[in-house]
Amino acid sequence: MKKVYFDNAATTKVHDEVVNAMSEVLKNNFGNPSSTHSFGRSSKVLLEKSRNAIAKHLNAEPGEIIFTSGGTESNNLILQSAVNNLNVTHIITSKIEHHAVLNTVNMLHENYGVKVSYVKLETSGDINLNHLETLMQTKAKTLVSLMHINNEIGNVLNLQRVANLCKKNDVLFHSDAVQSVGNYKLNLKEIAVDFIVASAHKFHGPKGVGFAFIRKNSNLKPIIIGGEQERGLRAGTESLHNIIGMETALKIAFENLESTANYITDLKQYFIEQLQNKIPNVDFNGTSSNLNNSAYTILNVQLPYLAEKSNMILFQLDLKGIACSRGSACQSGSEKKSHVLTEILNESELQKPSLRFSFSKYNTKDEIDYVVEVLKELY
């Protein structure tokens, strides 16, 4: 059976070069980076080389890169510490954030009485920036938490503009950049964001490792208590092989950033055209079909099928060897509709099946032709 993988927003295939780099470390650099003997020092050198390389890609300081287990932990570190240690009492976010942010913010509201304000959304799913600035007009210590690229509909936030608004209003700014790091250039010397998070498995690295960018002198404190690893912000022995894998994956991504973006953008445009040609009344959610205003890696398709076909469509596609999703992988198995689409679609639109197709450089136009033909048959 033909196997086609279009769920790269959930996770990506690991590069062979990344696997090789990780294997080399597992075999030859098993020392604890915190140990003072030669085995430990050797591992420490590799650890700091990776930190420096990642910082250079983002135009950040090495000390601003804190290694974690991934996006969820990084989001928790920043949001929880902002409340517990920076005296944040007001968080501004949106209802279409990843659950790593939404559920953490909700916990902070329930357990600590933090006020949570949700910024209005345009019908496209874009953030209403005028309302965002209105919400900042408060004497309370405030943090804005808005993702750079929405993981379901691909809408892109203007980080620079939001960062400038936050700076102007003396508000902290945190952005979940899990879908953008490795796909876009981010110059953190120019963009006045205080905190961003990244996860290696979104850019062809290993699972279980990521990092938080925490701007220097932020005064955050750890939420995992133990040793003094990671500048005292994240206790626990660093997973060196995973970190090396992440740094290698990011290096490959930045070496090929423009060519990869052009290749995948062409794939996405081709997919849109083929769907429109073969399936009458197909539609697209958010700004995902706008090549100038959405992530080139994500397309959210609304299919003109009868409601009764909606529940079985992923199963039917899986039987044909096609992997895609309805939304975030974190919701897999849930009977609930996508919380993102619920915010931007009307009731009749929600009855139709919507699927997220997300691309990588390993995808081809032949695979797109196959998927479109299967969707046409189901139609």
Q: How many angstroms separate the CA atoms of 242 and 53, rounded?
A: 15
How would you classify residue 3: left for phi > 0, otherwise alpha for psi between -120 and 50, otherwise beta?
beta
Which residues touch 65 (CB under 8 Å, ≥6 apart)?
A: 51, 54, 55, 58, 211, 212, 213
Q: How many angstroms separate the CA atoms of 184 and 199, rounded?
A: 14
Q: How many angstroms separate the CA atoms of 52 and 82, rounded?
A: 25
* Pairing mode, strands 322-323 and 142-145: unpaired
Which residues touch 106 (CB under 8 Å, ≥6 apart)?
A: 116
What phi, psi does 116 have (nearest 5°)?
-120, 125
Q: How many angstroms separate the CA atoms of 87 and 260, rounded?
A: 42
CA 245 to chain centroid, in Å, comes to: 18
- Write the DSSP string, 278-319: HSTT-EE-TTTT-TTSB-TTEEEEE----HHHHTTHHHHHHH
Tokens of 371: 């998927």
Q: How many angstroms separate the CA atoms of 33 and 239, rounded?
A: 9
Widest Cα–Cα separation across the chain: 67
**3-class SS of residue 123:** coil
- 179: nearest Cα among 65, 117, 100: 100
Tokens of 106: 């909700």
What phi, psi does 361 have (nearest 5°)?
-70, -10
* 140 touches 86 (CB < 8 A): no
Q: How many angstroms separate the CA atoms of 324 and 170, rounded?
A: 41
The residues carrying an active-site annotation are 330
What DSSP designation does 376 have? H
Amino acid 335 reads: E
